[in-house]
Amino acid sequence: MSADNNDKTSGLFANPLPIVMLALLAAGVVVKNVPLESARPIDPERVKFVPATQQDVEARLWQDPLAAVEKYIEKENKENGKENERKHDVKRVKALITELLKQNSVTVVAVSVFGSSSDADAEWRRRMRSAVVSALGFHHYHPSNNNAIGYFDHQPEPGNGDKFAVPYEWYERGKPLSSYERGKPPFYNKLEKPPNVLVLWLNEEKLDTVSAITPAIPPLDVVTWSEDGKAIITPTATPTVTLSDQLKYLFNTLVDKSTLQFDTSKSLNVRLIGPAGSEALMKLVSNKDKQKSNSKALYPGITLQVFSPSATISNCELSRDLGDEIPAKKLDECIKIEGFSKWNDSETTPIVRTIGTDDMLSVALLWELWQRGVNRESWRQPDNKPDCKDGLVLISEWDSQYARSLSQSLNEGFSSLCGTNTDPLMRVRTFNYLRGLDGVLPDIKKSDTNVPYKDDGEKSKNLRAQLLDVPLEHAEGRSQYDHLRRLVGEIERLSNDKQFAENGIKAIGIIGADVYDKLLILQALRSRFKDKIFFTTDLDARYLHADQKDWARNLVVASSFGLSLRPELQQRASPFRDSYQTATYLATLMALEKKNTMFEWNDKMAQWLHPQLFEIGRTEAVRLASPTVEYLKDWYTSKDKDSNSKGIPVQNKYQPCAPNHWPECADIEPYRPLLMPSFQYMGEVFVMIALGFVLAAMASCRIRGKWSIIKNALTLPMKLKTVKLLLAGVSVLVLGVLISLCTKRLMDASYEQGVGEPFVWFEGISVWPSLMLDFIGLVLTLVFAFALWCLIRGKARLISKNFNFALPQTWRLARSRWSAMCAGPYVELALFNREGTTDPKPIGPGVEVSTLWQNYLRATSMREMMGWIVSSTVMVGVLFFVAYRVFEMPSFPHRGQLVQNLNYFVASLNALILWPVIFWVSYQTRACTQLTRVLSNMNSVWPKRLLGRQETETGVPRAYLSGYLDFQLIMRATQRIHSLIYLPFVSILFMVIARSDLLDAMNFPLVLVFVIGLVLAYALGSEVLLRRGAVAARTKVISYYETLLLRMQAAPKIPLVEVYTTFDQARLKGSSPLTVASSKPSGLTEPKISTEQIKLLLERIRNTREGVFAPITEQPALRALLLPFGGFGGAQLIEYLINLTV
């Protein structure tokens, strides 16, 4: 009965997750992405660039055109002075355009970009250039010179500002024109090929500055004469120069007016891609001071079309600037305005907006918050007095029209839905910041923003030097890090303010144009508000940077576009860096298309454009089901929100369209299949599992033996008990399949309605894997519980057979259910007789072990345990109900009601199963402790048949076998129930993995830590008590045999009859065998036992490594304890290995 065949290596495979992931990494299934590094050498002997064309500024196609030209001008002015100005006169471009107009019409693509020197605007210009170049490539244009660009000095109207450089580049299509080869226009090099499209890069800041300048020569006053001869002087208003006037003047300078009048069949087609910002668009369409404006007109033959890809100001604001009557600035009225009628002067040329507006993005974000449970009940049917319990915080950039307009729309929309318009500080609070939180300026290194102060003992520094030496996060200097730290504290205070919102803050919005500021705010807030929903606008690839994923993951982004269009439109262009780049690419495609009119483009954009919702994952921005504009309007204005929760159009199949007729496409977004679990290879998976089981059975004798037992049990005719077990297993299997099919059907319905939670395994944005793991843990707990129940019953029969015990005829003790519920496992087993009734006789000098074993089996029957388990579970349920009331429910990020309801269902089932299992394991453990205590403290009477058999096998006289048999029974009884300790820890293992950050933004709040800690403490406490009692019993047995051996070796002449001849006699009297003597019973012969036999018994007892006497490293309690922690470590390792692929 020793532990000679213990499995010493099973602990290595107690948690195989890390081993599996390491194997996948080694096999190449999980691939590590090595950071890309260029092998291009840097040659110090660089050849000076000598241009042979007008485009004489060295610049690659991916460079910032404004920065390249500015750097060139600075260098050339030092070397050539005024000569450089003459070389870049606009006449050179005008001459080339004039010559080209003799052949055909000329297209000018004027791209308006931000012109500041900040890093963000420089990156913006690079992205816009890449988008425009890609769109030109779509229309089969290629650059005339891919290594250089040109520029000309543009002089605004006299007195209206200083001149500035306008970068340009030519693009050609097809073969050179023969007529062009015959003639050489002035200022044009014959080496150049005939260009087709001229791309201008307009510095929006320069144009805006010029338009704000008042003419140097004021207008003369108007003098009239009255009837009595008196002069009446009427002052003339000073005319203003509008942005529209500046653009028209610029385009007029590109061509001679007479050239277009001479041949009316030729035209200069100007396509303005811009303005870049909302403020510039407002100035472009504004009718303010219209009477004061010296309105300019384009030359006849110049056609102007405007495509706005980045100005997102609402049509409501633009219509107000145009003079349209808007009764009130309310979001529900603004979203109904389809467009604005006209722009400046009397022109009717509409502006095609290729990007969504702020008001629709605001409604889309409010809808998404509603889907995620923010004020779900109060917004569902907002009657006259909606009761909003969830608050909102907006952190908005203050120094941009875009952020101010968007935050105002969100504030107004949220307040309107909550009915708190009269009190804007209730339920929603806005905090402002200034752009450039890090304090980094273009001419200062980032490392020099705030350098640590060093007290070098020098003289006091001036204020500027002191500000430069301010440490990071100090309340001085250029950076605003200290503002963020104080903002965190203010948001925490606001979240705990029940007057602001009863449930605290549920969502935090970050509104701004600078992505670096957004990431910095996320970095400051994410660790403190892990359970909040963070959202922003405008998708950007910088959210996916590996070094930003810790705070950018799970960020909800509302955007007009993704990072690419459908393949027919995207073609050879790689995915872009942000949604504005995608919108610019689309705008340029439309600008170069000659088939559609501007009004047709507006109709197309109304069909194509709708807000899109994304959630930032580990490696990609996962697109969520997004509603159309009409649906959002109906949802926002409807009182019954649930009535509009169906019918969101979802693209279920790919609808191709011809690349040559792409304007006829019904949709411009790429086909994105529904992110849902696939059962395509389910049959193959089952075959693999079956083959794996067969291979394991062929290699393992134990598995073959178990399979033989199962096969024999299922052989007809089957026993009634086998039939019951088979029916129970089939019923559980059918129930599980029905639940799975029902869940799958509900999941499909939610996807078809467009409100479902996406199903993604390791992007960290889906709770479906978490729910699946919870359900798998629930099923495995039930299966293991049933298997262990059958196992311990089988081991009870085996122990009864080995020890010659009879099984009980009735499996109940003679006690009331109330007594069983109150006493539970703490029952005095020695008080009951063989029939399970209370023995009226007093306890004798010994107890029959066979009767004791039968009563122990009765005490652990389901009928005796049920009352105590149920009552204990109810008390724990009340305890945790109170705990949840105090600490609130653990956060569960979800999208839609389905996953939330499933979470409640699975969590309730887990609680209803986990705690009964825990108390069942505890009951079995404590009942075994009671059995150990009785065997240790009372005289045990063993069956004579067993004593005779053991005497024959061991050669030890039966008088000395009682202690050894007690030890063997304790060891076998504890070994029988030892595996039960794994049950609660299996459930906790799946709970830990399911709530790990690997799957979604879930954490372990205090209440959940309390639950898991209580489970661990209760289960391990029962195991510790069992081990302590068993070790104490073994100590007594070893003490007896050591005393007996010592007596025999120290005083061989003293007859053994003067020593207690049995272990039970000494134990019953409570004295040591060495200190108490007894008279030899009549007819007693001296026992025939030797010191060698005693030593062998002691060695066998000490070397037993089974059951509760196994080493600490092989204890099931320790291995079970390592399960959840090993699962957490495995989840962390999987996340680490996945991050290697980012």
Q: What tens digit of pLDDT does each residue of 962-1002 get?
A: 888 888 888 888 888 888 888 887 887 888 788 777 777 77
**Among 704-713, 892-901, 916-925, the least confident range:** 704-713
**Strand pairing class (428-433; 505-511):** unpaired
Q: Which residue has the higher pLDDT, 616 or 386?
A: 616
Residues 6+ apart with CB under 8 A from 405: 278, 313, 314, 317, 358
pLDDT attached to residue 464: 46
CA dist., res. 969 & res. 796, Å (int): 11
What pLDDT score does 589 carry? 92
How many angstroms separate the Cα of 418 from the Cα of each of 327, 387, 427, 497?
Answer: 22, 7, 8, 17
The amino acid occupying position 1101 is I
Q: In the numeric block, which tokens belong to residue 591? A: 């600008």
CB burial of residue 949 (10 Å; 0-12, 13-18, 19+): middle
Tell me how far apart the alpha carbons of residues 402 and 311 are, in angstroms, rounded to a whole number.
Answer: 8
Q: Which of 371-375, 605-609, 955-959 has the lowest mean pLDDT?
A: 955-959
Say if residues 593 and 663 touch (Cβ distance below 8 Å): yes
468 to each of 436, 474, 670, how far by Cα in Å?
16, 12, 49
Q: How far is CA 664 from CA 565, 600, 601, 603, in A?
A: 14, 11, 11, 12
Q: Give the per-residue pLDDT at 233.
A: 55
Q: How many CA atoms lie within 13 A of 1024 on its CB side?
A: 7
CATH 3.40.50.2300 maps onto the chain at 358-438+480-565+608-664
Give the mean pLDDT of the chain: 75
Of 305-319, 378-392, 424-438, 933-947, give the lowest mean pLDDT range: 378-392
Does the pLDDT value for residue 619 go beyond 80?
A: yes
Mean pLDDT of 180-208: 62
Across residues 418-434, what is the average pLDDT? Answer: 79
Query: CA 628, CA 879: separation in Å to the nearest integer?
Result: 47
Looking up tokens 């293991």 gives 784
Decide which of 1006 and 452 is more confident: 1006
**Is the pLDDT at 8 greater than 60, yes or no?**
no
| pLDDT for the residue numbered 520 | 92
Q: Any residues with CB less than 8 A from the CB of 192 and at least 6 apart, and which?
A: 53, 54, 144, 170
- Is residue 84 predicted with pLDDT exceeding 60? no
Q: Omega into 673 within 30° of 0, i.e. cis?
A: no
Q: Over the Cα atoms of the chain, what is R_g?
A: 42
The residue-averaged pLDDT of 7-36 equals: 48
Whether the predicted pLDDT of 192 surpasses 50: no
* Of 826 and 17, more confident: 826
DSSP 199-241: EEEEEHHHHHHHHTPPPSSPPPPEEEE-TTS-EEEEPPPPPB-
One-letter amino acid at 955 equals G
pLDDT surpassing 90 at residue 587: yes
- State the average pLDDT over residues 723-732: 74
Q: In 321-446, at which residue ranges do the beta strands (DSSP E only) sit? A: 351-353, 391-397, 428-433
Tens digit of pLDDT for each residue in 549-572? Answer: 888 988 999 999 999 998 888 888
Identify which has the larger pLDDT, 922 or 463.
922
Q: Is the pLDDT of residue 1030 over 80?
A: yes
Task: Quote the pLDDT of residue 64.
Answer: 92
The residue with tokens 């300048």 is 213
What pTM, to 2 d.p., does this model score?
0.79
Q: What is the mean pLDDT of residues 648-674?
A: 73
Q: Hey, how many other C-beta atoms are within 10 angstroms of the C-beta on 599? A: 12
Q: Which amino acid is located at 637 in the chain?
A: T
pLDDT at 1053 over 90: no
Q: How far apart are CA 878 and CA 66, in angstroms?
A: 69
What local confidence, expressed as pLDDT, does residue 73 receive? 87
Tens of pLDDT, residue by residue over 1072-1110, are 333 333 333 344 444 567 888 888 888 888 888 777 777
> Does residue 499 have a pLDDT over 70?
yes
Cβ atoms of 1123 and 1042 within 8 Å: the answer is: no
> What is the C-alpha separation between 652 and 654, in angstroms, rounded?
7
Query: How many CA atoms are closer than 13 Å to the CA of 260, on its beta-carbon side?
Result: 20
Q: How many alpha carbons lie under 13 Å from residue 308 in its C-beta half-sphere? A: 22
Question: Phi then psi for 850, rounded to 5 degrees?
Answer: -60, -45
Give yes or no for residue 779 having a pLDDT over 80. yes
Please say if the pLDDT value at position 100 is more than 70: yes
Report the length, in residues, of the chain: 1142
pLDDT at position 555 is: 94
pLDDT of residue 455: 46
CA angle 634, 638, 640 (to 5 degrees): 125
What architecture is the 358-438+480-565+608-664 domain classified under in CATH?
3-Layer(aba) Sandwich (3.40)
Report whether pLDDT(187) > 50. no
- What are the CA-CA distances from residue 49 to residues 46, 56, 80, 905 (Å)? 9, 8, 16, 71
Tell which phi-psi region holds residue 161, choosing left (phi > 0), alpha (psi between -120 and 50) or beta: left
**Rounded Cα gap, residues 608 and 667, in angstroms:** 6
Give me the phi and psi of 236, to 5 degrees please: -90, 135
**Per-residue pLDDT at 637:** 81
**How far is residue 771's CA from residue 776's CA, in Å, rounded to a whole number?**
9
CB 508 within 8 A of CB 525: yes
Token duo for residue 157: 């109207």
Mean pLDDT of 68-78: 85
- Which of 261, 259, 219, 253 is closest to 239 using CA atoms? 219
List all residues 6 or more positions away from 662 whose beta carbon is below 8 Å from its beta carbon.
568, 569, 589
Percent of the chain with pLDDT over 70: 69
- The CA distance from 1114 to 14, in Å, is 11
When mean pLDDT is compared over 123-137, 812-826, 907-921, 1065-1079, the highest value belongs to 123-137
Residue 439's pLDDT band (boundaries 50, 70, 90)? confident
> Which pLDDT does position 1057 carry in this prediction?
45
Cβ(523)–Cβ(551) below 8 Å: yes
